[in-house]
Each structure stands twice: as C-alpha cells, then as structure tokens.
Amino acid sequence: MTRLPMISLVILLGIALAACSGPTNPTAGDTLAPPASTSRPTGAPAPALQPAGSDSSSGNLAQTKDEAAVSVTVTPLNLGDAVADTLDFEVALNTHSVDLAYDMLSIVTLRMDTGEEVQPAKWDGPAGGGHHMSGTLSFPQLKDRGQSVTLILRGIAGVPERRFEWEVK
C-alpha cells in the first residue's frame, strides 16, 4: 500500500520535468524564421559592434544575466545596421520557480550613451506567464546611437534593473 503514493509521486515529478523542458533541436515540424532583411548600400560595411568590455574576436553578442532564479539572455539582431527600420533584440527569460507574466513593452528601455532613451515599439512574443518566455523587442530607429547602447529590463523577479550593454564602433 505504501508503494502507490511513491510511484504516483515519481510519475508526477517526471511529468513536471518534461513540461519544463523543450526540444533542444528543431524537428521536421519546427520552422525557424529568418532574420529580418534590411538593405545597406552595396559595399558599405556594417559598423563593428560587441558586448561592452568583451573580446571582439568571439563574435557572440548574446549576454546572459542570472539573478533571482531567472536567466535573461539578450542578443542584438541588427544593431550594426544603421539603415534598418528598427533596432531588434532577441530576449529569452527562463526559470523553474518564478511566473514570467511581464509586459515587455512597459519594463524595457533602450538607452544610448548620448542620453537618448526609447521604449520598445513592438514585442513579438507571448503574453501571459509561465516559466519560459522569448521573443523579439523592436525599437524605432535612432538618429544617433553614440558609442554604446544599453538595454535595461526592470523588475524581473524583484531585481530592480538588469543592464545589457554593447559598444557600437
């Protein structure tokens, strides 16, 4: 008789773990959206950009902050393209203990070292809660990005600010 509750608990734990993990590789039914295309005059080089204080040879612009049981990863998608219509950032939030019911349009700000600040114009991702949330934040194109840009997310899991900074050269 005491085995039944133990077996039930093991089955429930397995179901909970399976629900929080997704496929690591795309399957035949999955589709990946190509990056937004933007035009640049033929032969015009894109400015080099990198995470602030990083080794530019790595080529990886993604930055991750793990605080208060929530991992936030931000990757600029077109920061080096000065003629793009928008500035786009891929944002992924992951946790196993906090509900991620955030309005991304109201908790994010993009700040340039020139002093200009803008709010995102669009969040292309899910609304609601859960333990995994990802999408693309789009900001209006800026007249002057200066030497660096900082993406600021406020109030996730009680952390006042998470800052992600990239140098634009």
Q: Supply the CATH number for residue 73's domain.
A: 2.60.40
Structure tokens at 119: 């709010």
The number of folded domains in the chain is: 1
pLDDT at 149: 93
Flag whether 17 is in a domain.
Answer: no
Q: With a threshold of 0.85, does the pTM exceed it?
A: no
Q: How is the chain split among helix, strand and coil, in percent rounded to 5?
A: 15, 35, 50
Q: What is the mean pLDDT of residues 3-9?
A: 63
Tens-place pLDDT, residues 10-60:
565 455 444 454 443 333 333 333 333 333 344 444 444 445 544 333 357
Under a CB-based contact definition with an 8 Å cutoff, are residues 16 and 131 in contact? no
Share of the chain above pLDDT 90, in %: 42
Flag whether 81 is in a domain.
Answer: yes
Under a CB-based contact definition with an 8 Å cutoff, are residues 61 and 75 in contact? yes
Flag whether 111 is in a domain.
Answer: yes
For 9-158, where are the E strands, in sequence order?
49-51, 63-67, 70-76, 86-95, 108-112, 117-118, 122-124, 132-140, 148-156
Flag whether 72 is in a domain.
Answer: yes
Under a CB-based contact definition with an 8 Å cutoff, are residues 97 and 71 in contact? no
Flag whether 30 is in a domain.
Answer: no
Higher per-residue confidence, 133 vs 36: 133
Higher per-residue confidence, 72 vs 2: 72
Domain that holds residue 134: 48-168
pLDDT at 141: 80
Residue with tokens 């990863």: 73
Flag whether 36 is in a domain.
Answer: no
Flag whether 71 is in a domain.
Answer: yes
Flag whether 123 is in a domain.
Answer: yes
Give which of 93, 26, 90, 88 is closest to 62, Cα–Cα.
90
Share of the chain above pLDDT 70, in %: 63
Strand partners, 93: 72, 133
Structure tokens at 147: 């030497």
Give which of 67, 47, 126, 140 is closest to 91, Cα–Cα.
126
